[in-house]
Amino acid sequence: MRYEIQGTPFPVAICRLEAGETVCCQKGGMAWMSPNMKMSTNAGGSIGKILSRAVSGESLFQNKYTAEGGMGEIAFASSVPGNILPFEISPSKQIVAQKSAYLASTENVSLSIFFQKKFGAGLFGGEGFIMQKLSGEGIAFLEIDGSVIEYDLAAGQSILIDTGYLAAMDITCTVDIEAVKGAGNVIFGGEGLFNTKVTGPGHIWLQTMPISSLAGSVRPFIATGN
């Protein structure tokens, strides 16, 4: 499969498949395609895998598109302003991502739940107790809200992240929470009680405009009609 990512601030991943190649996506992910792309919808595996996708924020069913009779083309569009990032997934390169980040992938990429090992990180870290894990082998496309900032964390090196700004990380990274220090900072700082603490080794991808923050910014104008 060959692909290119075009457009801003609503990008699209355009994939070109050889005859017989298949790509998968969540319900509603396809934007346009050539007539020879055959669609099939299924649960995509065992009951465990179905529930895994549902709990991790994705739909129960998965759409598969296969090129028939020659080269095919299909496009997957972002649902929010931001970026689409391609990830090369392999047994030695697994990715953990925020809920609902998954857009599409080649057939041999598996989507499952990733439980935070520390219960407190799941409750207060801003990403929820469950995130998505991408494993297997192939290419996966993830939606990132806003712009993308990347860091390489060395072993033991940490970064503090406000709620919702962690988009994805290598599975070698760990997530914890750290309380905001000082009663005045908690009450008047507007940053909440906890920050998400990510510790290396591994690569992390941060997003500059979580969809929850965007919704909060426009909500007053919708409510007042201004």
The CATH code of the domain that includes 78 is 3.60.160.10
Which residue range(s) make up the domain with 122?
2-224
- Give the per-residue pLDDT at 100: 80
- Give the per-residue pLDDT at 54: 56
- Give the per-residue pLDDT at 165: 93
- Give the per-residue pLDDT at 186: 44
**Domains in the chain: how many in total?**
1
Average pLDDT, 10 consecutive residues per value, the chain (226 residues): 94 98 91 97 62 56 93 95 96 92 94 70 53 95 96 97 92 86 48 80 95 64 60
Distances 155 to 105, 114, 131, 152, 201 between C-alpha atoms, Å:
30, 21, 22, 10, 4
Q: Where are the alpha helices (DSSP H) in the chain?
A: 47-55, 119-124, 183-188, 211-224
Per the confidence metrics, is the pTM higher than 0.85? no
